[in-house]
């Protein structure tokens, strides 16, 4: 896949970022030779620019690797170890020494991180050719029962070890070789990629049920088995699965981007691919952040011609958003099965929902919606000038957990090349926005590009969620060439922008989802 993760990714504060890697290096990296293998391991780690590494199957290579990297080395037993650019402040290891090592790391700026490298066992082989019976789901699940059992015990011990109040504000990363697949992958909308198997793998549930987030799936929200897999670059005839994970928890941490590394010019040294996630790590006392998403869902119609709202829900669920503005939404329309799509998505994501109607269509209504993690106190349609189709903007007044209130506004403007109607709609919406006394978020499919008069009008006194230069296009999802989906926060003095990303979703819709993370100033 790729070797480097250094890139322009739309982040606002590089000093508060770090890269975490997990990698099972296979017999100490020596499978291709006692010297050449570990040397390739070092080269890959250096090119990845990883700052902290959860390593498995270290097996005697750790000290030499750490010397070559100039990193602190924190091993436990022969298998699991931690390499860190930052000092190890305290050992917080639990469970069996072969399977778990943990440390409190001192990050720059006085911040701390609880970092664990783990290895989990499995009961029987289901990856080699001929060993997996996809018609016997219980047998498949039981093959990974040992990993579930060990992780359940391990997490209980980690919670106990970090139960002192002095650890309360320290984020946690648990990374390693889990030897089990994820319930976020083997789901109905993507079952054709897994030989028709839909399976709620219990091992991955343990940490997600404890409010950990899967950094890879969050930054790659659409399942793509070939791209996602970490097992196995060395044996392509075996079952290709994602079994290596970086999970994280903590209000101050955000996963910005993740890559899988499975190549080296002279031969990849391991049977596992490496996973690298870049995190932002802000000060613990900072105002809580809001994750804001804009996504034109095309009424659940994918680029494969399949109508599948469950696929839309799975992608949105993986983004862990606080607010989602969805466009091209059906409400009890015949073409989409008579479903109230905003309400259905809200229930699936355990979010509050509101719908704004453009027009009557096929026995129902066509429009747009807002999904909110927090209670919607009031929803309001702003009728816009009719262009090629009727249009409204939808505004929701929302109450945050700290009792502060914000307004979330979602729009979908006229789509034809001539911007006459589009600008008229923008002018009407701008007049409404000028009446707002609360901070607001403006989300939507603008159907216009940067530097247009539509964007210039609506971005006044706003903080723009500027996308990374090398990945800012949002349409079409398969081969994006234009940027027409945007997020703004206003007034600009009320907000801080943390980062913006555009995610891939080549099958789920013809638009790519956009996410921006903002902090609301005190």
Two tokens, residue 475: 């349409």
Q: What is the pLDDT of residue 15?
A: 56
Give the pLDDT confidence of 349-380 residue by residue, as tens digits: 999 999 999 999 999 999 999 999 999 999 99
At residue 300, φ and ψ (nearest 5 deg) are 80, 10
In the chain, what is the straight-line distance between the N-terminal and C-terminal CA atoms, in Å?
43
Spatial separation of the C-alpha atoms in residues 239 and 242, rounded to whole Å: 10
Spatial separation of the C-alpha atoms in residues 481 and 475, rounded to whole Å: 6
Spatial separation of the C-alpha atoms in residues 132 and 194, rounded to whole Å: 11
The DSSP bridge partners found for residue 52 are 20, 84
Q: What angle is formed at CA 73 by the lines to CA 275 and CA 21, rounded to 5 degrees?
A: 10
- At 493, is the secondary structure helix, strand, or coil? helix
- CA 366 to chain CA centroid, Å, is 29
Q: According to the 3-state scheme, what is the secondary structure of 131-166?
A: CCCCCCHHHHHHHCHHHHHHHHHHHHHHHHHCCCHH
Q: What angle is formed at CA 326 by the lines to CA 450 and CA 503, rounded to 5 degrees?
A: 60
Answer yes or no: is pLDDT of 185 > 90: yes
The helix (run of H) or strand (run of E) holding residue 209 is helix 202-209
The C-alpha R_g of the chain, in whole angstroms, comes to 24
Give the pLDDT confidence of 103-116 residue by residue, as tens digits: 999 999 899 999 99
| Spatial CB neighbours of 142, under 8 Å, sequence gap ≥ 6 | 123, 124
pLDDT band with cut points at 50, 70 and 90 for residue 522: confident
Give the pLDDT confidence of 267-288 residue by residue, as tens digits: 999 999 999 999 998 765 457 7
Two tokens, residue 63: 């000290």
| 289-520: CATH class | alpha beta
The helix (run of H) or strand (run of E) holding residue 37 is helix 36-48
- At 378, is the secondary structure helix, strand, or coil? strand
Q: What is the pLDDT of residue 41?
A: 98
Spatial separation of the C-alpha atoms in residues 24 and 464, rounded to whole Å: 40
Inter-CA distances, 76 with 14, 93, 256, 336, Å: 31, 8, 30, 55
Q: What is the pLDDT of residue 7?
A: 37
Spatial separation of the C-alpha atoms in residues 135 and 144, rounded to whole Å: 16
Mean pLDDT in the chain?
Answer: 95
Give the pLDDT confidence of 443-470 residue by residue, as tens digits: 999 999 999 999 999 999 999 999 999 9
Answer yes or no: is pLDDT of 3 > 80: no
Q: What is the pLDDT of residue 10?
A: 37
The DSSP bridge partners found for residue 502 are 514
The helix (run of H) or strand (run of E) holding residue 412 is strand 405-412
User: Where do we find the tokens 């829900």?
Assistant: 313
User: Where do we find the tokens 């409400």?
Assistant: 331
Spatial separation of the C-alpha atoms in residues 254 and 471, rounded to whole Å: 19
Answer yes or no: is pLDDT of 498 > 80: yes
Two tokens, residue 371: 């999904």
Give the pLDDT confidence of 36-83 residue by residue, as tens digits: 999 999 999 999 999 999 999 999 999 999 999 999 999 999 999 999
For the chain, what percent of residues have pLDDT higher than 70? 96
Spatial separation of the C-alpha atoms in residues 243 and 240, rounded to whole Å: 9
- CA 303 to chain CA centroid, Å, is 21
Strands 112-119 and 100-106: antiparallel
Closest listed residue to residue 458, CA positions, set 441, 437, 475 = 441
Q: What is the pLDDT of residue 12?
A: 38
**Which residue stretches of 49-144 are H helix?**
62-69, 137-143
Closest listed residue to residue 293, CA positions, set 508, 15, 19 = 508
User: Where do we find the tokens 């929302």?
Assistant: 398
CATH number, domain 20-281: 3.60.10.10
| Spatial CB neighbours of 265, under 8 Å, sequence gap ≥ 6 | none
- Are 177 and 187 a contacting pair, CB within 8 Å? no
Selected residue with higher pLDDT from 522 and 145: 145
Spatial separation of the C-alpha atoms in residues 172 and 212, rounded to whole Å: 9
- Are 90 and 111 a contacting pair, CB within 8 Å? no
| Residue 401: how many other CB atoms lie within 10 Å | 9
- Are 294 and 323 a contacting pair, CB within 8 Å? no
- Are 22 and 246 a contacting pair, CB within 8 Å? yes
Spatial separation of the C-alpha atoms in residues 370 and 295, rounded to whole Å: 10
Q: What is the pLDDT of residue 286?
A: 57
Answer yes or no: is pLDDT of 9 > 80: no
- At 414, is the secondary structure helix, strand, or coil? coil
Start and end residues for every CATH 3.60.10.10 domain found in the chain: 20-281, 289-520
Two tokens, residue 322: 């606080």
Q: What is the pLDDT of residue 11?
A: 37
Answer yes or no: is pLDDT of 407 > 70: yes
Mean pLDDT of 12-34: 88
Inter-CA distances, 300 with 102, 194, 507, Å: 43, 22, 10
Two tokens, residue 134: 């996809």
Two tokens, residue 249: 């928890």
| Spatial CB neighbours of 164, under 8 Å, sequence gap ≥ 6 | none
Spatial separation of the C-alpha atoms in residues 462 and 453, rounded to whole Å: 15
């Amino acid at each position: 896949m790729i070797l480097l993760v250094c890139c322009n990714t739309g982040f606002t504060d590089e000093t508060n970022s770090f890269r975490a890697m997990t990698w099972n290096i296979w017999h100490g990296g020596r499978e291709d030779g006692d010297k050449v293998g570990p040397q390739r391991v070092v080269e890959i780690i250096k090119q990845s620019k990883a700052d902290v590494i959860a390593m498995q199957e270290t097996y005697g290579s750790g000290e030499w690797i750490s010397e070559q990297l100039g990193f602190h080395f924190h091993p436990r037993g022969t298998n699991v170890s931690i390499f860190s650019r930052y000092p190890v402040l305290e050992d917080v290891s639990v469970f069996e020494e072969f399977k778990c090592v943990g440390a409190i790391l001192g990050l720059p700026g006085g911040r701390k991180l609880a970092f664990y490298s783990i290895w989990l066992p499995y009961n029987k082989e289901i990856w080699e050719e001929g060993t997996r019976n996809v018609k016997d789901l219980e047998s498949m699940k039981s093959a990974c029962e040992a990993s579930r059992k060990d992780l359940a015990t391990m997490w209980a011990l980690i919670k106990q070890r970090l139960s002192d109040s002095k650890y309360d504000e320290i984020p946690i990363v648990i990374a390693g070789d889990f030897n089990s697949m994820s319930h976020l992958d083997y789901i109905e909308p993507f079952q054709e990629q897994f030989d028709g198997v839909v399976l709620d793998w219990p091992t991955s549930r343990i940490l997600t049920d404890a409010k950990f987030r899967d950094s890879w799936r969050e930054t790659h929200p659409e399942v793509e088995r070939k791209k996602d897999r970490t097992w196995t670059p060395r044996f392509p005839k075996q079952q290709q699965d994602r079994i290596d994970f970086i999970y994280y928890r903590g209000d101050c941490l955000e996963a910005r981007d993740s890559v899988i590394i499975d190549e080296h010019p002279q031969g990849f040294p391991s049977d596992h691919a490496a996973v690298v996630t870049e995190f932002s790590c802000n000060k613990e006392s900072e105002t809580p952040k809001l994750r804001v998403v804009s996504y034109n869902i095309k009424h659940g119609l994918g680029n494969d011609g399949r109508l599948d709202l469950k696929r839309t829900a799975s992608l949105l669920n993986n983004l862990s958003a606080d607010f989602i503005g969805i466009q091209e939404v059906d409400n009890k329309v015949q073409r989409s099965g008579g479903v109230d799509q905003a309400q259905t998505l809200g229930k699936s994501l355990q979010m509050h929902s509101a719908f704004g109607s453009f027009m009557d269509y096929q026995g129902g209504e066509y429009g747009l919606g807002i999904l909110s993690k927090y209670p919607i106190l009031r929803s309001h349609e702003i009728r816009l000038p009719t262009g090629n189709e009727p249009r409204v903007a939808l505004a929701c007044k929302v109450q945050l957990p700290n009792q502060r209130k914000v307004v979330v506004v979602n729009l979908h403007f006229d789509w034809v090349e001539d911007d006459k109607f589009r600008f008229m709609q923008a002018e009407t919406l701008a007049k409404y926005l000028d009446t707002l006394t609360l901070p607001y978020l403006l989300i939507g499919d603008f159907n216009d590009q940067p530097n247009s008069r539509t964007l210039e009008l609506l971005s006044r006194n706003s903080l723009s969620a500027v996308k990374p230069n090398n990945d800012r296009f949002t349409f079409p999802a398969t081969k994006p060439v234009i940027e027409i989906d945007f997020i703004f926060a206003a007034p600009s003095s009320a907000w801080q922008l943390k980062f913006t990303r555009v995610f891939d979703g080549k099958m789920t819709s013809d638009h790519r989802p956009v996410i921006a993370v903002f902090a609301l100033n005190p």
